[in-house]
Structure 1
């Protein structure tokens, strides 16, 4: 049986090396496949059944098994696609496949798969799909809280639905008013000439008094706000000083704040309210004007109804929180460090979809707004080497791998891709060894055949 055993062992060696060659071939073929995990080959021996001790035993046959390298990360490269991503560390993207397309709408299979191939792009229906045909899943985010909705990921879909307009509710205002405003009326020496023209009064500015008002006030900046329908409204601010603090007299420096009405038929400027400053330049007191009420925190005015040029907005709060409105001496006599910010915006069309470094899908709109819409989870497994390989650099869970845990994983890197972990140089090194082993096994078969012919010729 020795010669026949040798032939049997050599044939098993040929079979095992052929499997190793197949793995090497597949690794080389997928050396440029995104997220591909190479298969290495492990050899094991089968001991001959004869012989009670090792001295009486002979070398047996061999067989080859594939060894997964899921835990070996491939190199990560930068790309210029906003929806491409890579995983640095453990974990897999949770994906699924399309089941059918009916009337242009895609339905999805119940099976869940996992992949490291993060070359996802948005298709015509708004789904994120990679080049292998897998659809990305994630947790939808609550638009108000930004927290995930539910515990089960769903197929990510960002539709071309416009973002609704949001009315302005607050204007954060910052400025420094000069102690002596350089108005048109100011003669350069007498500070009294820099005060509001007495003919204007302290209420709203009538059309007839508009020029006198402009000559005795200074600009306080402007900003565009939006009403409930997203209609833009230009808010122009002016200040007029109405009183100077005199030595020995308990009077603070006092200013009136105005916003333009956008109308030239009745009043041209609304009086928002009166503001006082102490000798240090800090705001000390406010008094309601014709359209502005002092807010509850006494750091700004609340305008309950603002109509500019026939366009109405409601409940706009002008805030000076944090001492952002001051009166420090300024040689130019103008309002300095002026900054206005508001929280409203018009309706906007979807312009781009991207993934940020925290693993959230961000929708960008034409109104300069951005909204996180999905959170991308990463699946980890107790024994990921036991995942079942499927087409397209994908995997499916098995009883040996354990169920997916969506609470951990590594870090998602935006605008990156994980390359194949198959290295051409290493694979060619293994190819040389495999080829030599295969040739050696084939030589054993040839030698055994010649020896068997010699044995048969002895009886002829």
Structure 2
């Protein structure tokens, strides 16, 4: 190459250093430009083709290299629409190319920038300091979900925000195992519970237990029929008993004989006290006469009934106590029906023909008041205040027990009734299906009371509402469960105050059960409703978890507070949202209480949060997500083409943008500074200056050498 080659290489060196100086100059000039990415200079040597022994360094070529992957410092700012990126991504922007009918016109081309100094312009769009408009995806303000997938210029509306009706309350809380409300007294059992009897005239309830195993005495009734004469006629309803027949009836061990005679027969015996003249009677009249005679025969048979049942004469002493005998006829000729010779009726039905035994006791619990009743015989009466005479039959004994319960059981038992329920149960009824019962069981010696037979469980009525005049009592029996403001369809607010009342506990023999109330009318007076119960029993297991309801939410149907009708609201507590763990303070610990409604509001301001959500703030305090900022990344980030205003466009070397719709890496209220380092640029400036000066020396030296070569011919 020689001198001319050296001169040519020196010139390329000067040109390369000049290019580096230009880059240094531009970097320093943009050291304060938001999001600016400095340009580095790379030098590429150009080696001419020559044998290895004749190779020379050759010339140099200067190339620009981007630093788009080098992040600048991020600083916080007070403007809530300024954003920065803590990633290698870019904001997607677009320039405005004109105006049509007062509306901005855009080219529809995406550009990319790190410059995040966006502010709202007069049209409600976000534009940065270089005039590029931010793009993103719209958000459904009702659901909060992104709608669409193609980025568009974000445009905000400053119109009035319409109200949204509340349809869900999210609620989570821990209820104390022992609520320490103002009525709680550690020395009084169950004082922490809300007692239904203090609020309503609750139906009376009772439970019963009995002691003793002595058998109940039976009242046997037997019947023996004598005589073989056939009854006259073939129609039973018109047939009289035959003359000479007789009936022996034993009631409580006392036999009574009834003789049948026909007064129209001259040989008939004279009628005795229990003799029955069948001379002119049909079967119905005969049975009616027997009934009258049986009733008069013994006090135990005072209510006896006599009639025909399935071909038998049935004598019923009351309460399923019966005797019966067959009415048999001549099977061959059917000339009439008669009493079969020696035909005896069965013994009485001992399952009901009995009475309570002296010495046994009955213990009743009536509305929490325990009363003991002692059964006695008039011959052995000891003077008990709650004594019950059981020396008579079962009907009389139960009547005496009923009278004693009414007299000694308190006001709730004033209308009590006592009777046999079926065959084997004595039932004590206090009204409205509230009763106690004990079994009458059959033993070898008769029927007896089972020892400590359990009665039916007492019934706890639900208190569905609290009147205004009961408010002070209710507040003392309950604990606060928090409060939330909900909104009707027209945006009218309603303050829902919640209170929890424990109504049953495991210590009291039941399950840990709570009721939830909300204030329905804070202005109520007198007997008007002030609090309303949520229609659910909240029952907790021993480990504190919720057993009932099994669903993750309950519905507050037709919620209305102070005249504001909100409608059905789902009270959602989800899995494990409600618990009952021991709490030393005895109060409800509410961890979540919010709702999804709001009233109407006026536009106030807008901000971009750290999730890239463009959020509008309204005068009602609501912050509504309006749009989602979209970011873009590239496989070859430093191959993007630089354009004015700190924006980049894609090239074939950079590849297409990879859009991120999640807003990851976005930092609200922040800006990214230029990644230019002044001290580093000055250092490069010194090196470039020295290299350039050295290059000029090469040119001067080459020039002098050429002059010497030319002087050789002079």
Corresponding position of 2:614: 361
TM-aligned CA deviation for residue 280 of structure 1:
6.1
The whole-number CA distance in structure 2 between the counterparts of 1:368 and 1:189 is 48
1:259 pairs, out of 492, 516, 519, with 519
Count residues in correspondence: 443
Q: Does 1:420 align with 2:674?
A: yes
Query: SS state of the match for residue 27, structure 2?
Result: helix
The whole-number CA distance in structure 1 between the counterparts of 2:653 and 2:543 is 73
228 and 45 in structure 1: CA distance in 2 versus 1, 3 angstrom threshold: same
230 and 340 in structure 1: CA distance in 2 versus 1, 3 angstrom threshold: farther
2:491 pairs, out of 186, 205, 230, with 230
Corresponding position of 1:315: 568
23 and 410 in structure 1: CA distance in 2 versus 1, 3 angstrom threshold: farther
Q: Is the 8 A contact 2:511 2:539 kept in 1?
A: no
283 and 271 in structure 1: CA distance in 2 versus 1, 3 angstrom threshold: farther
103 and 177 in structure 1: CA distance in 2 versus 1, 3 angstrom threshold: farther
441 and 311 in structure 1: CA distance in 2 versus 1, 3 angstrom threshold: same
444 and 126 in structure 1: CA distance in 2 versus 1, 3 angstrom threshold: same
Q: Is the 8 A contact 1:178 1:327 kept in 2?
A: no
RMSD: 4.4
1:214 pairs, out of 458, 463, 472, with 472
Corresponding position of 2:165: 167
TM-aligned CA deviation for residue 25 of structure 1:
0.6
Corresponding position of 1:84: 82
309 and 19 in structure 1: CA distance in 2 versus 1, 3 angstrom threshold: same
TM-aligned CA deviation for residue 451 of structure 1:
4.1
Note the alpha carbon deviations across 1:160-183, whole angstroms, 9 max, x for none.
244432222234374558668545
Q: Is the 8 A contact 2:484 2:496 kept in 1?
A: yes
The whole-number CA distance in structure 2 between the counterparts of 1:406 and 1:63 is 36
TM-aligned CA deviation for residue 123 of structure 1:
3.2
Q: Is the 8 A contact 1:363 1:370 kept in 2?
A: yes
Q: Which runs of 5+ in 2 are unaligned?
A: 202-462
The whole-number CA distance in structure 2 between the counterparts of 1:148 and 1:154 is 13
Corresponding position of 2:17: 17
TM-aligned CA deviation for residue 22 of structure 1:
0.7
The whole-number CA distance in structure 2 between the counterparts of 1:351 and 1:143 is 16
TM-aligned CA deviation for residue 391 of structure 1:
1.1
Corresponding position of 1:374: 627
Equivalences for residues 426-441 of structure 1 within 5 A: 426-441=680-695
Corresponding position of 1:291: none
1:392 pairs, out of 642, 645, 657, with 645
The whole-number CA distance in structure 1 between the counterparts of 2:544 and 2:662 is 52
The whole-number CA distance in structure 2 between the counterparts of 1:309 and 1:454 is 111
Query: SS state of the match for residue 225, structure 1?
Result: strand
406 and 48 in structure 1: CA distance in 2 versus 1, 3 angstrom threshold: same
Query: SS state of the match for residue 658, structure 2?
Result: coil
The whole-number CA distance in structure 1 between the counterparts of 2:152 and 2:706 is 66
Equivalences for residues 136-155 of structure 1 within 5 A: 136-143=134-141, 146-155=144-153
TM-aligned CA deviation for residue 236 of structure 1:
3.8
Note the alpha carbon deviations across 1:97-136, whole angstroms, 9 max, x for none.
1112445532222322112223333334332322222222
Query: SS state of the match for residue 158, structure 1?
Result: coil
The whole-number CA distance in structure 2 between the counterparts of 1:400 and 1:278 is 66
The whole-number CA distance in structure 2 between the counterparts of 1:285 and 1:400 is 63
Corresponding position of 1:105: 103
TM-aligned CA deviation for residue 397 of structure 1:
0.9
2 and 146 in structure 1: CA distance in 2 versus 1, 3 angstrom threshold: same
Q: Indicate the structure (1 or 2) with the bigger Cα radius of gyration.
A: 2
303 and 457 in structure 1: CA distance in 2 versus 1, 3 angstrom threshold: closer
Equivalences for residues 256-295 of structure 1 within 5 A: 257=517, 259-264=519-524, 267-272=528-533, 273=535, 275=537
The whole-number CA distance in structure 1 between the counterparts of 2:583 and 2:570 is 27
Q: Is the 8 A contact 2:172 2:591 kept in 1?
A: yes
The whole-number CA distance in structure 2 between the counterparts of 1:264 and 1:100 is 64
- If the length of structure 2 is used for normalisation, what is the TM-score? 0.52
The whole-number CA distance in structure 1 between the counterparts of 2:155 and 2:190 is 64
Corresponding position of 2:41: 41
Query: SS state of the match for residue 428, structure 1?
Result: helix
Note the alpha carbon deviations across 1:2-26, whole angstroms, 9 max, x for none.
5555444433332222111111111
215 and 53 in structure 1: CA distance in 2 versus 1, 3 angstrom threshold: closer
Corresponding position of 1:26: 26
Note the alpha carbon deviations across 1:230-273, whole angstroms, 9 max, x for none.
2111234567788899978x798786846332444782425435
Q: Is the 8 A contact 1:357 1:414 kept in 2?
A: yes
The whole-number CA distance in structure 2 between the counterparts of 1:351 and 1:407 is 29
Corresponding position of 1:289: none
Query: SS state of the match for residue 81, structure 2?
Result: coil
Query: SS state of the match for residue 118, structure 1?
Result: coil
Corresponding position of 2:116: 118
- If the length of structure 1 is used for normalisation, what is the TM-score? 0.77
Structure 1 window deviating more from structure 2 (410-419 vs 195-204): it is 195-204
The whole-number CA distance in structure 2 between the counterparts of 1:414 and 1:231 is 36
Note the alpha carbon deviations across 1:172-198, whole angstroms, 9 max, x for none.
3745586685459x9x85978974675
Q: Does 1:341 align with 2:593?
A: yes
456 and 109 in structure 1: CA distance in 2 versus 1, 3 angstrom threshold: same
